[in-house]
Amino acid sequence: PTGEQSVRMLQAKARAQKNGQLHEEAAFCHQLGELLASHGRYAEALEEHQQELRLLESVLDTLGCAVAHRKIGERLAEMEDYSAALQHQHRHLELADSLSNHTELQRAWATIGRTHLDIYDHCQSRDDLLQAQTAFEKSLAIIDEKLEGTLSQRELSEMRTRLYLNLGLTFESLQQTALCNDYFKKSIFLAEQNHLYEDLFRARYNLGAIYCREGKHSQAMRCLEGARECARAMKKRFMESECCVMVSQVLQDLGDFLAAKRALKKAYRLGSQKPVQRAAICQSLKYVLAVIRLQQQLEESESSDPQGAMAICEQLGDLFSKAADFPKAVEAYQKQLHFAERLNRPDLELATIHVSLAATRADMKDYHQAVYHYEEELRLRNGNALEVMCPVPSSV
């Protein structure tokens, strides 16, 4: 955290400790934990919330303990210790239930749902998706049945907006497109109505990512630009950086690597709170720059040096294939084949290019084309089984 803010909190915490004001000290632990977590310092934040829990247990503050368990669970989830996170989140649920505190019960189910969604992201277990769906729906039911009329409309809208977004993400993973889109639209509508910029950012960003995966590039760009506006309005550079990374992905899919490079440089300059994300940006930038360099070399050699152009096409194909951009890899290998045929290269060399095309088509699950290229390879090798590099049956 920026020095001044955390120093003031620590000084206040020390004074509270000295005076034996346990509730006050717990409140400072809570604030300091939140501040540390916002800067990605989750282990230190966890210690603060654990201290907060000990203090509140000593003064028998059940509601305070429930909230502290929720915070400990959040920090553990951020550190990817999901089983421990769920233990604390279920303890939060039990304590909220014992107090009949519907606001905390709603939060407990929402947090449990979010953790199951995080677990799904790591291990792709359908059971976790269904548990997430159940938890989010229970949370939504509490708002409709218990909290309506007891909290301000803005608070209720905030709760619903987040749950609609999380249900949208859950149904996307369950491949229930209609429900996914319906919940995203509900989330965006409520967030826009109530100027909930953070929630609006999340909804637009996630919808943009879904459109990107579906190949709906113009819709993806609109959503991501909208998310960037929210990030700028909140002056959240890290969030804007995330948008730039996703915009770069859309531009790469469209084949505009120069614009993708600009977006990644912008993302890098805006900064990232996590070293792992910063490293990922650098890795993407390295890949994009390599593609640009090879594309420029190809442009220069296409008419004057077909032999050189053929080798560059192979490098591009390998680069795209490694990045799992199989359609572009196919395009590059196809171009390599075109040059090889024009140059009357030996049959064995053409056969090797057909192997690259067959393997890439198989990666795309286009088995019909994969078989075609394997057959071409066999034909070019004159049916000499000893020279076949990749047998057809095991690949298709």
Render pLDDT for 329-342 as a digit per residue (tens, 0 to 9).
999 999 999 999 99
pLDDT at 277: 85
pLDDT confidence tier of residue 298, bands split at 50, 70 and 90 = very high
> Does the pLDDT of residue 387 top 60, yes or no?
no
Average pLDDT, rounded, for the chain:
92
Mean pLDDT of 59-69: 97
The candidate with the shortest Cα–Cα distance to 82, out of 130, 36, 27, 121, is 121
pLDDT at 385: 47
The 3-state DSSP class for residue 21 equals: coil
pLDDT at 7: 64
Q: What DSSP character marks residue 389?
A: S
* Segment (H or E) for 35: helix 22-38
pLDDT at 11: 66
Mean pLDDT of 238-250: 96
> Does the pLDDT of residue 367 top 70, yes or no?
yes
pLDDT at 274: 72
> Does the pLDDT of residue 386 top 60, yes or no?
no
Q: Return the minimum-mean-pLDDT range out of 7-11, 233-237, 240-244.
A: 7-11
pLDDT digit string (tens) for 151-199?
999 999 999 999 999 999 999 999 999 999 999 999 999 999 999 999 9
Mean pLDDT of 351-376: 97
Under a CB-based contact definition with an 8 Å cutoff, are residues 224 and 205 in contact?
Answer: yes
In sequence order, the 6+-apart residues with CB closer than 8 A to the CB of 322 are: none
Question: What residue ranges define each of the domains in the chain, with the CATH number in brackets?
Answer: 1-100 (1.25.40.10), 237-297 (no CATH), 302-395 (1.25.40.10)
Cα separation values, 312 from 134, 165, 293, 317, Å: 52, 44, 10, 9
Under a CB-based contact definition with an 8 Å cutoff, are residues 92 and 69 in contact?
Answer: yes
Mean pLDDT of 46-68: 97
Give percent above pLDDT 90 in the chain.
Answer: 84
pLDDT at 12: 73
Mean pLDDT of 225-233: 96
> Does the pLDDT of residue 14 top 70, yes or no?
no
